[in-house]
Amino acid sequence: EGSRDERDESGSRLQRFIHRRMESISFNKLCCAVILVTGVLSLIVFLGVFPASFVYLDYYQIALKYNKITGVVDRSTTYEFGCYILGPSVGFLEFDGTAHTVSKTHGVFTVDKMPITISYHVQYFLREKEVGVLHSEFGMDYDSVIRSVIESEIKNAAVPYSVDQFRLQRSVLEKYFHRKLKYRLEGDCCPACCPSSCNNFTACSLCPPPSTCSQGFHINVEYFHLGQVDIPSQVTERYLTRTLLKEYADREYFIQNKVIETTKTLRLTKQIRNTAQEIQEAANVEAQKIGVVSTANYEANLTQATISGLSGMFSTLKVTQEDHKMSLMMIRALEDVAGKGNLYRTYGYDNGTMSLYTRGMSIS
């Protein structure tokens, strides 16, 4: 009980001391203390909140502004990289401003109804002025939507091509797939620069009006690369079997064509030989005819020349009697025979006679 009384007395003394001290503090000093405490608290709050109002966007980012409290997104303005003061209740929805890369591997069916597996890579870019429209249509899941559309479009676009074309015409297929993806994802509306500030006026004149055009997915598909084409072993065996059957059919077709062409060639050869033989026989007949005519003309010309020559000789020698003419003609004929070595002649100068004789006979 004694210690309890001492503690009560000590407590009462402390209370009296505090009460006297409080009474000694003036009202002005109390006001200063309140103001000081309030300033310190305000400074602490400012230092904690104001730095959070600074928002940075990296060079590879674009963004839309949204209210952190209500969740409302302002899609009217797209922000590029830089530093912005938004306030504690405003933030950024960030998008990649660089290339979005899509790498896929999946199966497709070809025109010859054979499944193959292809790998490809696509790079697309967001259209900065259309990011708000993209967000209003697809939200922040736009990439998954675009990936599914790319896969669907590639599967549909691969159907018209064969396995051989996938093996041997890769560059053609790359351009074809790229063109298909651009039309599907970019749409066919006029560029934003139309109609006044575009350098390519042809693009503005060919694109459909905004009321009927396809908006696409508000992106630009810049690159497409076709990777590995994997043909399964079973498909390869089926393909080889079909190829061999086709080759066998082609072989039989060519063999039949060879027989037909050989028959045609033999018939044409026979016709040509018959025609050549007919031409040769006709030429021989014509040659014989020409020879007979030439011989007849020769004999006629020779006879005519002989007659003319004898007539001139008779006139020159003044031979008028027919027997004399016949004698001269006989002598002429015998001289022709003499040219062959069978006729000999002598002259009698004493009596003015000429004798002709052959072996075994003589003529005076």
* pLDDT tens, residue by residue, 129-140: 899 999 999 999
pLDDT at 122: 96
Q: Has residue 240 got a pLDDT over 90?
A: no
d(CA 71, CA 62): 19
d(CA 72, CA 51): 23
Query: What does the pLDDT look like over 93-109, one tens digit per residue?
Result: 999 999 999 999 999 99
Instruction: Write the burial class of residue 153 (CB in 10 Å: 0-12 exposed, 13-18 middle, 19+ buried).
Output: middle
Stronger pLDDT, 338 or 54, i.e. the higher one:
54
Query: What does the pLDDT look like over 277-331, one tens digit per residue?
Result: 999 999 999 999 998 899 888 888 888 888 888 788 778 877 777 777 777 777 7
Mean pLDDT of 255-268: 91
Stronger pLDDT, 344 or 170, i.e. the higher one:
170
Q: How confident is the model at residue 157 (pLDDT cuts 50, 70, 90)?
A: very high
How far is Cα of residue 236 from the mean position of the Cα atoms in its chain? 26
User: Measuring CA to CA, how many Å separate 180 from each of 91, 153, 209?
Assistant: 37, 7, 21
Mean pLDDT of 334-341: 60
Q: How confident is the model at residue 7 (pLDDT cuts 50, 70, 90)?
A: low
Instruction: Write the burial class of residue 67 (CB in 10 Å: 0-12 exposed, 13-18 middle, 19+ buried).
Output: middle
pTM confidence score: 0.55
pLDDT at 177: 96
pLDDT at 335: 66
d(CA 119, CA 89): 45
Q: Has residue 86 got a pLDDT over 70?
A: yes
Chain mean pLDDT for the chain: 81
Q: Has residue 147 got a pLDDT over 90?
A: yes
Bridge partners, residue 221, by sequence: 124
Stronger pLDDT, 267 or 318, i.e. the higher one:
267
Find the length of the chain: 364
